[in-house]
Chains A and B, each alone.
Chain A
Amino acid sequence: MLKDNRMQEELMERYLAGELSTDEKASFEKRMQDDSQLRAEVEAYKSILNNLKSVRSQELKARLIKLEGSVPKQGFKFGKSEYYILFSVIILAVSLWFIWPRNSNFSDSSIPPKNMEQESTPSIQENHPPNAAPSILEDTLRKQENLKMVPETKKAADPKNPIAEKEIEEETYAAHFEPYMDEDLSSMVRGEGELTNYEKFIAIYLKKDYARALKVYDEMDESLRDSDNLLFLKANVLLGLNRSDEAKVLLRRIIKNDQSRYTAEAKKYLIYCR
């Protein structure tokens, strides 16, 4: 029964992708005519797939809107009219300086200033670095550099107090770390009969029994162990065992190879490596 359902789903999937042969297609459409439930289901899928193309456009647009948010807003800019006004003000100020009576009390140098102390107090200057506003590209590229992401709490830690910093890091780590899980992993251990070491590893991994998972991993065939997909899970196991230095090495290797389906996730999990 399960097998029939599975075959039915695959047939429908191939029909929707336009991959059935002429005979298969005719036969499937005949079944649809006779089976109103099947027909309704196929129509529902078709409606979804027709709209699927718009999802990519929406994702791209969302990406650009987010990028736009990172563009520094331009401040006040001098146009022609502003230059004319500035020029006029300077002319006026210079003229006033010449016209102003030189012997007035206001400019009498014989009278000492009322508050010398106040005048000599150095003014507080804002000390911006010359290139405080990073260039747009640098800013964007830095934001895309997930590998350099640091949890907010880590940034807030006092660098003079390594113990406090470590505590904060550990809290962050404990609060946020969750091993990677997805439905594919669950489906890998649904087979019947005796489990292979690979299946055992996945099953134990899903139960978050990291110490046992690592033991079973080591018993696996070497060719399997070296797969980047499996190494990603091992990295999770190591993170679960607080062996983040070892996990970091594996995650970096996965990212560098860029051969695993978990490359994107590996970048995310690097955050957990202290």
Chain B
Amino acid sequence: MQAFDQIYLLYRDDFVRTAKHRFSSTPEADILDAWQDSLVSFFEQISSGKLQTLTCSIKGFLYLIGFRYIMKSHHLNLKTDHVESFTDQQENLHFAEEMDLLPELNEDQILLNARIQELPEQGKRMLMLRYVDGKSIPEIAKEMNYQSENSVSVTLSRTLKKLKDLLEKDVKR
């Protein structure tokens, strides 16, 4: 994750400057928000396997996604001059133009995030490996250094149940 942080910091100032130039009425806070969303989307695309090779620079790719987030939040249309500096990167340009942006979070998702942070670290990590990364029980046991697959299975079921109970309590409130 350090590489992730370093990419964020490496291009941050330049992205803010470029975006201010291209979208002069956009506040800096919105530009930074778009830059963060761009990084998160990039990470998601890689971890889901949708983005496997990058023929252009990371910078160009991230900037284009970042610009899309700014345009989305300000209801702007894509203009030629927003992308003209990336025309030598057609293949990834197309991918970055077409890929799904992160949707707005709904209340359930925000609540789930809050409750999941209350779970023990092991269980939380296991849930993500199992249901987000789609790993099998033996793979999780190996990755998390568990000697027994049964123990993984039990922890998973228990964590899931605990999460459901926490969320049900919220609903009752």
Contacts and interface: CB of A to CB of B under 8 A. Distances in A.
* Chains A and B form a bound pair: yes
Interface of A: 6, 9-10, 12-13, 16-17, 19, 41, 44-45, 47-49, 51-61, 63-65, 67-68, 71, 136-137, 140-141, 144, 182-184, 187, 228-229, 259-261, 264-265
B44 A71 contact: no
Nearest to B134: A17
Contacts of B134: 17
Contacts of B2: 141, 144
Q: What is the predominant secondary structure among interface residues of chain A facing chain B?
A: helix
Nearest to A259: B145
A136 B161 CA distance: 42
Contact of A56 (B123, B132, B144): B132
A183 B120 contact: yes
Interface in B143-165: 144-146, 151, 153-158, 160-161, 163-164
| Chain B contact residues: helix, strand, loop or mixed | helix
B39 A10 contact: no
Contact of A182 (B116, B122, B131, B156): B122
A53 B130 CA distance: 11
B6 interface: yes
Interface string B92-124: 000000000010010011101100100011110
Contacts of A187: 151, 154-155, 158
A9 B155 CA distance: 11
Contact of B8 (A64, A183, A184): A64
B145 A260 contact: yes
A45 B5 CA distance: 33
A192 to B, nearest CB: 16
Nearest to A41: B164
Contacts of B44: 56-57
Nearest to A136: B9
Nearest to B38: A64
Contacts of A182: 120, 122
Contacts of A259: 145
Contact of B160 (A47, A48, A141, A228): A48
Contacts of A55: 109, 112-113, 116, 128, 132
B51 interface: no
A54 B136 contact: no
